[in-house]
Chains A and B, each alone.
Chain A
Amino acid sequence: MAFLDNSGDIILDAVLTDAGRKRLSAGDGSFKISKFALGDDEIDYSLYTPITSSGYEDLRILQLPVFEAFTNNTTVLKNKLLTYQDDSLLYLPVIKLNNMAQLGATTATGTGAPLGGYYLSVDSSTTAQTSGSNNGGIQPGYRHIDETTARTARSRSRLVFDQGLDSADLVLKYLANTNRNLLETQYIIEVDNRLLSLASSADGSLATPTFIDDDSVASYYFSLNSNPSFFASQPGGADRPGTIQEVAYQIVNDGDPTSPGKVIGPTGATGRLGSRLVFSLRSSADIQANTSLFTQLGSTATITDDAAVTRIFSTIDTVVRVTGFTTGYRMDVPVKLLKYVSTP
């Protein structure tokens, strides 16, 4: 007679993160563990081969080695496991950067560009050098986040993120009607607090970080109920609901007000539209006024614009990280901060 499988109870040793050590050392009772989450950062699910012999579909996944624990609280558990009560879900929502011209913004291209992201001009001098004659006064791939422009022409500093089911198998509808459980209504945005801050694209008011960790990463938490000025409607569905999707703020499409302007669903007639997150980036006073952080963290780059004009900039590469609080989906937008140096 064989032995019973006793592998259901697993013991593992944990290590404190830097944030945990900081809380513990404070001695003020702020070190209190109250919840847990599970992660699968090392797993590449593309290795899963469902059409194969039973038991072999995940052989390569189960052979993946697992890293020792990182102690930096921002670099572990990037991908959390999720609980949905419904086991029959075949699709899960994603978050996509809306890179449509004049609604979101076309992302940067070219050698050395932050592909899939943006160049960010951090002061008015740089903004003047990277302005364009069309496209709302801004070159493709650029966002103007200096204080003056970000206040007076907020659409130039705007980033737009659309959430939903990005599948060609689904006809165009709204998640709020079809599967409200997949609708994301809360977001966490993380940026380097030394470089960037967030503001409402609707009214220009600066947002307050929920907390700033020991690595100067500022986390902002926005929910549809509490922070409606950071949400907007996704247009396009025939069953557009009159409730949760109809937030007060509408993005003005400068070029074509009738354009649906959606990136969820590979065609205009497909996809399930969820929420739309909209915010403006604002450069910090430090990087607007001086170059010390560029010297410390960045380098210089020569960039040629659409009009074939070459300029030299001080640059810093960083990311804007957007995470759906309930659905857990997360995406990083690469950005390159620019500060104009000279025109050779």
Chain B
Amino acid sequence: MATSFKTLLSGDIKQHGTKLHEAIPLTGTILSGTYGAFGAETNVKNYSHGMFQSVYDYPYLSSSANHILDITVGVAADSGLSGSANYVQTTQKNDIYNEMAQMLCGYDATGSIHQFDVSGAFGSNVATDKMKDVVFVNFARLLTKDEIQKETGGGFTLVLNAATTFATPSTTQVTLQDTNATNALENSPAGQFNVLYASSPSVSATACGLVFYQAGIAVISSSVFQTTIAGGNSEMNVGTDTMPQLLVSGAISSSADALRHRFHNVGFNNTTELNSTIYMCRAGASEFNYSSNPTYLSSSQIRVKNVSTDNPVSYITTVGLYGANNELLAVGKLSEPLKKTPADEFVLRVRLDY
């Protein structure tokens, strides 16, 4: 009796996990300069609600455009900026801060939202560690995949142009890095995170932000553009506003524009967790040596044989994985035909990724 199916035994099916990493280098010119004049880039989308700004890798009206990140800012209700005159979008900036904080920092025992803390200890009461005026960079899932990779010495590197002058921002640069990445902190409800340390001509390894690996979010203190880290107060717009001034008098989109202008590059490796099932399809010596291909026969005679004592030959190009009712559920292809005779045995390891 001819058979065309072979049952997979329990030992033929193995589960396997793999972490796949891709390098994501993102240059500042994508955020500002490539697709139009500053402030009028066609790859930057502002919304009527004004809560955040989206950046694409191509003019966003094109179907080829991919969403790469969002930028927004948040100011805590008890920030020193909150009582300022001419405060623009006060409510929205507070709401953004609280939303991000409750997602990334969690709550205390009373249900109050923790504030961002540059030490990573959200429950800490050290007032000087609290980051109350921050910029958020939310990377799209397209870039971060399952998570940003944690690497020895720092896998996430963000370089900001921090010179004082608006027109020539790149003469001084601040590098933010998760230098202690392998010892990621675990006390966030959004998964693992770490402290971003800034280094510049003025400072070395000064905590100034947080990076959340699974959430794909960088939280940057507005202090990176101020004297303590940058060595001077950076002019964030043509009006020479400093970062605190802009957070008060500017809309969220203005602050996002300012960050894009100061964005030199960012680099990290993303991580995709592949769960694979490997099916060991074993073609024994006496199996799969004949074919039902219509060209296999000429007047019922097997073409690859002259006499009955010749070995049968077949050529494998495809492996099909079937359900119990013979329904084809998955297909694997070989790169070239594989010759099969009674003298050959093969194990075709077919991997199905989820």
List the interface of chain A (C-beta within 8 A of B).
8-17, 19-20, 23, 30-46, 48, 50-51, 58, 61-62, 64-71, 73, 76-77, 79-85, 87-94, 164-169, 181-182, 210-211, 213, 266, 324, 326-331
Contact indicator B329/A42 (Cβ below 8 Å): no
- The yes or no answer to B26 lying at the interface (CB within 8 A) is no
23 contacts between A and B (CB under 8 A): A8-B344, A13-B350, A14-B319, A15-B330, A23-B327, A33-B277, A33-B323, A37-B322, A38-B314, A38-B340, A41-B318, A43-B317, A58-B339, A69-B331, A76-B331, A77-B328, A91-B302, A94-B300, A266-B299, A326-B3, A327-B2, A328-B2, A329-B294
* Contact count A vs B, C-beta below 8 Å: 294
Q: Taking CB as reference atom, which chain B residue is nearest A165?
A: B300
Q: In the bound complex, how far is the Cα of B335 from the Cα of A38, in angstroms?
A: 14
- The yes or no answer to B23 lying at the interface (CB within 8 A) is no
Query: Which residues from chain A contact B324 at a C-beta distance below 8 Å?
Result: 32, 34-35
A12-B319, A36-B320, A66-B337 known; A44+B2 contact, CB < 8 A: no
- The yes or no answer to B128 lying at the interface (CB within 8 A) is no
Query: Which residues from chain B contact A62 at a C-beta distance below 8 Å?
Result: 315, 336-337, 339
**Mostly helix, strand, loop or mixed at chain A's interface?**
loop
Contact of A14 among B1, B325, B332 (CB under 8 A): B332
Contact indicator A36/B321 (Cβ below 8 Å): yes
Query: Which residues from chain B contact A213 at a C-beta distance below 8 Å?
Result: 327
Stretch of B115-123, B150-158, B285-293 that contacts chain A: B285-293
Contact indicator A89/B312 (Cβ below 8 Å): yes
Contact of B304 among A30, A38, A50, A181 (CB under 8 A): A50
Query: Which residues from chain A contact B339 at a C-beta distance below 8 Å?
Result: 58, 62
Contact of A83 among B4, B315, B317, B353 (CB under 8 A): B4
A39-B320, A83-B3 known; A66+B335 contact, CB < 8 A: yes
Contact indicator B308/A89 (Cβ below 8 Å): yes
Contact indicator B331/A77 (Cβ below 8 Å): yes
Contact indicator B5/A37 (Cβ below 8 Å): yes
Query: Which residues from chain A contact B342 at a C-beta distance below 8 Å?
Result: 87
A33-B279, A87-B342 known; A81+B316 contact, CB < 8 A: yes
Query: Which residues from chain B contact A46 at a C-beta distance below 8 Å?
Result: 295, 298, 303
Contact of B290 among A16, A89, A324 (CB under 8 A): A89
Q: In the bound complex, how far is the Cα of B162 from the Cα of A194, in angstroms?
A: 68
Contact indicator B329/A16 (Cβ below 8 Å): yes
Contact of A12 among B296, B327, B333, B340 (CB under 8 A): B333
**Mostly helix, strand, loop or mixed at chain B's interface?**
strand
Q: In the bound complex, how far is the Cα of B4 from the Cα of A252, in angstroms?
A: 35
Query: Which residues from chain A contact B65 at a C-beta distance below 8 Å?
Result: none
Contact indicator B2/A41 (Cβ below 8 Å): no
Contact of A93 among B298, B300, B353 (CB under 8 A): B300
Query: Which residues from chain A contact B2 at a C-beta distance below 8 Å?
Result: 82-84, 181-182, 326-328
* Apart from A76-B331, A77-B331, 4 more pairs, CB < 8 Å: A11-B351, A14-B279, A69-B333, A80-B292
Contact indicator B313/A58 (Cβ below 8 Å): yes
Q: Determine how close the nearest CB of chain A comes to the CB of B67; give it in whole angstroms.
A: 25
Contact of A10 among B5, B292, B297, B338 (CB under 8 A): B338
Query: Which residues from chain B contact A58 at a C-beta distance below 8 Å?
Result: 304, 313, 315, 339
Q: In the bound complex, how far is the Cα of B59 from the Cα of A71, in angstroms?
A: 33
Q: Determine how close the nearest CB of chain A comes to the CB of B343; give it in whole angstroms.
A: 10
Query: Which residues from chain B contact A76 at a C-beta distance below 8 Å?
Result: 318, 320, 328, 331
A38-B283, A42-B317, A89-B302 known; A13+B291 contact, CB < 8 A: no
Query: Which residues from chain B contact A64 at a C-beta distance below 8 Å?
Result: 336-337
A40-B314, A66-B334, A89-B302 known; A79+B320 contact, CB < 8 A: no
Q: Taking CB as reference atom, which chain A residue is nearest B321?
A: A33
Contact indicator B308/A40 (Cβ below 8 Å): no
Contact indicator B330/A61 (Cβ below 8 Å): no
Query: Which residues of B234-289 have CB atoms within 8 Å of chain A's CB atoms?
Result: 277, 279, 281, 283, 286-289
A16-B330, A76-B331 known; A91+B337 contact, CB < 8 A: no
Contact indicator B345/A14 (Cβ below 8 Å): no
Q: Determine how close the nearest CB of chain A comes to the CB of B261; give it in whole angstroms.
A: 44
Q: In the bound complex, how far is the Cα of B6 from the Cα of A40, in angstroms?
A: 16
Q: Determine how close the nearest CB of chain B comes to the CB of A282; give it in whole angstroms.
A: 24
Contact indicator A45/B296 (Cβ below 8 Å): yes
Query: Which residues from chain B contact A70 at a C-beta distance below 8 Å?
Result: 331
